[in-house]
Structure 1
Amino acid sequence: MIESLLVANRGEIARRVIRTAKRLNIRTVAVYSEADAGLPFVVEADEAIGIGAPQSYRNGEAILAAAKESNAQAIHPGYGFLSENADFARAVETNGLIWVGPPADAIRAMGDKINARNLMAEAGVPVAPGTHDPAATVEAAVEAAATIGYPVMVKAAAGGGGMGMAVADDEGGLRTQFDKVRAFAERMFGDGSVLIERYFPRVRHVEVQILGLADGRVIALSERECSVQRRNQKLVEEAPSPAVSASLRKDLLAAAVKAGEAVGYRNAGTVECLLDPATGEFFFLEMNTRLQVEHPITELIHGTDLVEQQLRIASGLDINFDTEKTSGHAIELRINAEDPKRFLPGPGKVVTWVEPTGEGVRVDSGYAEGTTVTPHYDSLMAKLIVFGADRADAIAKARAAVAGFEIAGPKSNLPFFAELLDNDEFLAGDYDTGIVSRMR
């Protein structure tokens, strides 16, 4: 097993990784920006090294220097920042360190949505109708859309996390959105390549957790439902999905294994799919080559610790749990520092922070009373996760936990979750990615 680990991240995911590493008697090293000096993860690590300005978590050279300074043996990237940066993954290994993640080639292959689509199609994974090559001009995009059929999704090929996407209902809309998405992609990702894909007005977002094992095998654990979204970004996830039957689950997991095998996947990853509730058809959306924000719900229904499994795989060891055994139902709510109506960011100093407790309640948080949520990062403050005997039990526990979570200072979206957990559409389990817009 790895003996020392640098966590190249911040907030709740840094605390999450540190917690597991400590349980496994692995020495932990945190890196922190000047904006995060007072956060809990800095204190909880065995050693903490400042790396400078707020955006330093994207500074690979500074993180590698901290790893050398602290004699860390391995680097865990968490999610976001450098977690899906193929060049950084390769640099970690070039510097003689262990990368707790997939091979750089797999990250690169899946980082380009067009390349990923084509690879998946070749591997026999269903993909939605769309372009096989980037639409170089708006005229090429219009020509492609005429074949695909409107509405279409205009997507940044190098995008991720719900960013760089827009819907066009007709040619006029496509001409407008194409230029906007391309400009955004160039600014945010340094790559203006654009993909045109069929857009499904009513669709569910379902994903499968995979593990690429040290011996070369790829296995699929189970699916997660991620359809409660605002601006294409997830707010609530649950496992298992209320929309997935046993036969559909079998097909989803088989497709996810094919996807992982196609790129020689190792460590934890997620194959994201769009599910058409009208037909039961599913299509490959993208592969996230890292640990997902919503991994705790899979942990709970499988009775395992996915960070531990990541560390075992990176150490060349076998996993240590029954991958086919699941029980109960889990739900995760992303507690963000944002207005619960319009979802606009609302950072600030935390005056009150009281986490709910009780059987089946788990909180993975990045903040505490007296700390400050700054505007420099994503608005996620904590993840409220509940586990119940079944979906109804999990929802009841979620209601109680939301009522018992007290946050004052920064804004929070807790009132939105109280509303959602009484929404008839959500309670019936018959919802799609448009549920939040219908609530607003």
Structure 2
Amino acid sequence: MIKAAMGGGGKGIRMVSCREEVADKYDLVRGEIPTGGIMIMRCVTRARHFEVQILADKYNNVVALSTRDCSLQRRQQKMVEEGPVVHTSHERVLEMQDCAARLCAEVGYVSAGTVEFLYDIETDEYYFLEVNTRLQVEHPVTELLSGVNLPSAMIQVALGKSLNEIPDVAAFLADPERYRFKDRHVMACRITAEAADDGFRPTSGIVERVKLYEDQISYEELNEDVFLYYFSIAADGKNKAAITQYSDSQFGHIFVVGSDRRDAVRRMVEVLRNVEVVGEIKCSVDYIREVMRTSEFENDTYHTNWLLSPTEG
């Protein structure tokens, strides 16, 4: 892989399959990300994308709050995030968490951040990808697992508080296993204005209506603790809700909590069934719902390149 150090969101990264492609792929990466270094990395074709959410204070205290699995991707961009990681052993997960915490402590990192790993399905080995030095949009997955309000914790860290002085972080640290909500799994779906049947081509246009019919969701115990979402669409020059060609394709995010992964998948499928998007844009909702109903997704046997496979679905 040729990857720009300053890249992200699927930009500044290309796979190279032979020596003859190196120069052209390098030029493509540099064209997308003009500044910063460029790295050459091993390509793992059957991989999972795992993340460790960390929080560090100014006194070199670092805690790994939980893990996320962000392996369902298109164009090297996430479609679904979930947590905790259940694809590999608990011992492997603890190793990754320890590595992430030690790395951040060694460099004196302060605030919230995400340490990302590439996990090789075939060898059970994992490799360091990068540290995202910001709060990612999928951070509610970790909040729903750990009970830690991450934006609030970041502010308190910036004000000079230690981790033990932040009440919800202290409650997390007081658990000897450091995993407050053991009997739950969180599933998150990004809602994007993309044409899934046309290579996930971004679309733009007027949005007439976006609605989630909560009253029609059939599963029981629907409340804020197991279900949250947002939609965000700006107005165009004519004061109409629209997604423009300059907008990020993501305009919504849905988070669901289940008693385990299978229950979380079932709940998310039901929620997505009740999302309505009307307008000139194409939307990913129906596609994600159908993907979640496949045996590969239900059984957690997919990998980051799975959606590129001609046998998908």
Which range, TM-score by smaller chain?
0.7 to 0.9
Partner of 1:329 in structure 2? 185
Secondary structure of the equivalent of 1:181? helix
Deviation at 1:214, TM superposition (A): 4.1
The 1:376–1:184 alpha-carbon spacing in structure 2 relative to 1, beyond 3 Å, is closer
Secondary structure of the equivalent of 1:183? helix
Percent of residue pairs bearing the same amino acid type: 35
* Larger helix percent: 1
Deviation at 1:158, TM superposition (A): 2.4
1:324-359 CA-to-partner distances (Å, cap 9, x unmatched) read: 123300011000111122211122222111124333
* Larger strand percent: 2
1:1-20 CA-to-partner distances (Å, cap 9, x unmatched) read: xxxxxxxxxxxxxxxxxxxx
**Larger Rg: 1 or 2?**
1
Deviation at 1:182, TM superposition (A): 2.6
Match of 1:362 among 228, 236, 259: 228
Separation in 2, partners of 1:304, 1:260? 19
Q: Write the mapping of 1:253-264 to structure 2, written as runs, cut at 5 A.
A: 253-264=97-108
- What amino acid does structure 2 have at the position aligned with 1:367? I
Partner of 2:9 in structure 1? 161
Q: Write the mapping of 1:148-297 to structure 2, written as runs, cut at 5 A.
A: 153-186=1-34, 190-191=35-36, 193-297=37-141
Is contact 2:55–2:111 with CA below 8 Å preserved after alignment?
Answer: yes
- What amino acid does structure 2 have at the position aligned with 1:197? M
Partner of 1:393 in structure 2? 263
Partner of 1:125 in structure 2? none
Separation in 2, partners of 1:346, 1:164? 21
Separation in 1, partners of 2:18, 2:207? 46
Partner of 1:429 in structure 2? 300
Separation in 1, partners of 2:258, 2:166? 25
- What amino acid does structure 2 have at the position aligned with 1:331? M
Secondary structure of the equivalent of 1:363? strand
Q: Name which of structure 1's ranges 166-175 and 315-324 shifts more when overlaid on structure 2.
A: 315-324
The 1:356–1:421 alpha-carbon spacing in structure 2 relative to 1, beyond 3 Å, is farther
Partner of 2:287 in structure 1? 416
Separation in 1, partners of 2:107, 2:230? 31
Partner of 2:217 in structure 1? none
Partner of 2:206 in structure 1? 349
1:375-413 CA-to-partner distances (Å, cap 9, x unmatched) read: 222111110111111111111110111011111113211
Partner of 1:139 in structure 2? none
Is contact 1:356–1:402 with CA below 8 Å preserved after alignment?
Answer: no
Secondary structure of the equivalent of 1:300? helix
Secondary structure of the equivalent of 2:290? helix
Separation in 2, partners of 1:388, 1:368? 32
The 1:368–1:181 alpha-carbon spacing in structure 2 relative to 1, beyond 3 Å, is closer
In the alignment, structure 1 residue 340 sits paired with structure 2 residue 187: no
- TM-score, normalised to structure 1, is 0.62
- TM-score, normalised to structure 2, is 0.86
Deviation at 1:303, TM superposition (A): 2.4
Q: Write the mapping of 1:19-168 to structure 2, written as runs, cut at 5 A.
A: 153-168=1-16
Partner of 1:38 in structure 2? none
Deviation at 1:365, TM superposition (A): 2.2
Q: Which runs of 5+ in 2 are unaligned?
A: 173-177, 215-221
Is contact 2:62–2:101 with CA below 8 Å preserved after alignment?
Answer: yes
Is contact 1:350–1:368 with CA below 8 Å preserved after alignment?
Answer: no
Partner of 2:252 in structure 1? 382
Q: Name which of structure 1's ranges 275-284 and 300-309 shifts more when overlaid on structure 2.
A: 300-309
- How many equivalent pairs are there? 284
Partner of 1:300 in structure 2? 144
- What amino acid does structure 1 have at the position aligned with 2:204? P
Separation in 2, partners of 1:387, 1:311? 26
Is contact 2:66–2:145 with CA below 8 Å preserved after alignment?
Answer: no
Deviation at 1:368, TM superposition (A): 8.4
Partner of 2:175 in structure 1? none
Is contact 2:50–2:68 with CA below 8 Å preserved after alignment?
Answer: yes
Separation in 1, partners of 2:72, 2:125? 19
Separation in 1, partners of 2:208, 2:31? 40
Match of 2:157 among 293, 313, 327: 313
- What amino acid does structure 2 have at the position aligned with 1:361? F
- What amino acid does structure 2 have at the position aligned with 1:407? V
- What amino acid does structure 2 have at the position aligned with 1:244? T
Deviation at 1:239, TM superposition (A): 0.1
- What amino acid does structure 2 have at the position aligned with 1:326? F
